[in-house]
């Protein structure tokens, strides 16, 4: 049986420390997530990614690189990508007919965003960006806001499908987030425990609709640290009802499921009681997550990362969770299959140059 490597961890700096190398070699670690602190320039980023792959070629190198205010790499040639709301506004201003304001068609712009985003990251050695955001923009959520395409799930789905096509052209997989929807609640799950009191019927009809319509195109999904009490008392990422019965059963999703960051406030209380990151990781894995993220814990002495690795190892030995070969295969499926276009060649590639012209 193939060993399941569910942990996605972080590193502190722009190079790998000995502690980083030790952690990334651990068989339960399946990848890492990069942040702006891990970037100084393109050459450094590429060298860092090469060093990671020399440790283990199967490690999945991830980043939150959506565009707008959530874009980790912004200098040394990286294109400043628009917030996804700009694509929704382009659709509405232009009517998607080319006869409105004279703006370029929104779907072509969305595909261009996906291609530029994916090809630039891949040229530097990054495997996966946690994008697109499929939340609906109800105008209430500060943490979502302009990260969402629009309030209409149909428009969100069409633009997301176009962006997914651009990512596919670049050779990069994708991750739809935050299932079943984070846009309705005001609270930020980074600092609070949001509660959405709507019915399952209402959520499925609106917020979760893009996941149903895009189920054949989404490679992975990240659930929200939001409690929907009319469905389950636990946040979606810790709920077998949401992940097993609804996402995989009712909506037919077959790709990988990532937890959101286990260090967020929305992940640190379950059933009204505070939990450790190890307890949160076990709850997420046993609920149906294939992979669990722990961010911003490598800073200082990195004891938070070590505690999670040790805790999950002990839990595996004690049978508190079971390694899942299907989950491991889903992780490996997220790795790019084709070679990336090198940066210098990318800069003069006709498809890339055309995509830059199509950006809003």
pLDDT digits over 120-150, tens only? 999 999 999 999 999 999 988 888 999 999 9
Strand partners, 147: none
pLDDT tens for each residue of 11-68 = 999 999 999 999 999 999 999 999 999 999 999 999 999 999 999 999 999 999 999 9
Output the pLDDT for position 273.
87
> d(Cα 359, Cα 166) in Å, to the nearest integer?
12
Q: Answer yes or no: is 114 within a domain.
A: yes
Q: Per the residue annotation, which of 94, 260, 261, 290 is the catalytic one?
A: 260
Output the pLDDT for position 125.
98
Tell me the Ramachandran region of residue 229: left when phi exceeds 0, alpha when psi lies from -120 to 50, beta otherwise.
alpha
Residue carrying the six token digits 């590429």: 46
What the block records as the tokens of 348 is 């003069």
Output the pLDDT for position 100.
44
Positive or negative, the CA dihedral 208, 247, 35, 226 is: positive
Output the pLDDT for position 237.
96
- How much is the pTM? 0.95
The 3-state DSSP class for residue 180 equals coil
> d(Cα 267, Cα 227) in Å, to the nearest integer?
10
Of 262, 253, 219, the closest CA to residue 60 belongs to 219
The 3-state DSSP class for residue 12 equals coil
Q: Confirm if 285 and 320 have CB atoms less than 8 A apart.
A: no
DSSP letters along 232-300, please?
-SSBGGG-HIIIIIIIIIIS---SEEB---TTSGGGSEETTEE--HHHHHHHHHHHT-SBEE--S-SST
Residue 80: active-site member: no
Output the pLDDT for position 2.
63
Q: Per the residue annotation, which of 190, 245, 310, 324 is the catalytic one?
A: 190
What the block records as the tokens of 16 is 């790998």
What the block records as the tokens of 152 is 């209409």
Residue 260: active-site member: yes
Output the pLDDT for position 264.
85
Question: What is the number of domains present in the chain?
Answer: 1
What is the domain extent for residue 151?
68-124+137-171+344-360
The C-alpha torsion from 65 through 335 and 153 to 108, rounded to 10°, is 70
Q: Answer yes or no: is 258 within a domain.
A: no
Q: Answer yes or no: is 225 within a domain.
A: no
Q: Where would I find the H helices in the chain?
A: 18-25, 42-55, 85-94, 106-123, 153-170, 200-205, 209-213, 240, 277-287, 303-318, 325-333, 343-347, 350-358
What the block records as the tokens of 260 is 């959101």
CB contact set of 318 (below 8 Å; sequence gap of 6+): none
Integer-rounded Cα radius of gyration of the chain = 20
Strand partners, 177: 133, 222
Q: Answer yes or no: is 278 within a domain.
A: no
Q: Answer yes or no: is 203 within a domain.
A: no
Report residues of the chain scoring pLDDT below 70.
1-2, 95-104
Q: Answer yes or no: is 333 within a domain.
A: no
Q: Answer yes or no: is 62 within a domain.
A: no
What the block records as the tokens of 238 is 């810790």
């Amino acid at each position: 049986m193939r060993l399941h490597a569910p942990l996605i961890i972080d590193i502190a700096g722009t190079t790998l420390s000995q502690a980083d190398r030790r952690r990334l070699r651990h068989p339960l670690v399946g990848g890492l997530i990069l942040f702006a602190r891990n970037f100084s320039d393109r050459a450094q980023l590429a060298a860092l990614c090469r060093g990671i792959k020399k440790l283990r070629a199967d490690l999945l190198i991830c980043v939150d690189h959506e565009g707008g205010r959530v874009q980790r790499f912004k200098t040394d040639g990286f294109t400043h990508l628009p917030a996804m709301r700009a694509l929704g506004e382009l659709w509405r201003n232009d009517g998607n007919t080319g006869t409105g304001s004279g703006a370029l068609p929104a779907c072509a712009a969305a595909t261009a965003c996906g291609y530029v985003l994916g090809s630039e990251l891949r040229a530097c050695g990054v495997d996966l960006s946690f994008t697109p955001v499929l939340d609906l923009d109800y105008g209430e959520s500060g943490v979502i806001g302009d990260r969402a395409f629009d309030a209409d799930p149909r428009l969100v789905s069409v633009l997301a499908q176009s962006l997914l096509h651009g990512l596919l052209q670049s050779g990069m997989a994708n991750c739809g987030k935050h299932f079943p929807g984070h846009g309705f609640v005001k609270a930020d799950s980074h600092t609070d425990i949001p509660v959405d009191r709507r019915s399952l019927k209402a959520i499925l009809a609106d917020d979760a609709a893009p996941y149903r319509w895009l189920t054949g195109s989404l490679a992975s999904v990240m659930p929200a640290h939001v409690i929907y009490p009319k469905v389950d008392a636990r946040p979606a990422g810790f709920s077998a009802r949401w992940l097993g019965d609804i996402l995989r059963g009712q909506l037919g999703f077959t790709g990988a499921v990532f937890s959101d960051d286990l260090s967020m406030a929305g992940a640190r209380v379950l059933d009204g009681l505070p939990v450790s990151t190890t307890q949160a990781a076990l709850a997420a894995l046993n609920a149906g997550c294939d992979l669990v993220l722990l961010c911003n814990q490598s800073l200082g002495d990195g004891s938070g990362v070590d505690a999670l690795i040790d805790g999950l190892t002990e839990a595996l030995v004690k049978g508190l969770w079971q390694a899942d070969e299907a989950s491991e295969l889903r992780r490996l499926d997220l790795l790019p299959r084709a070679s990336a276009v090198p940066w210098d060649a990318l800069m003069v590639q006709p498809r890339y140059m055309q995509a830059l012209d199509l950006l809003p």
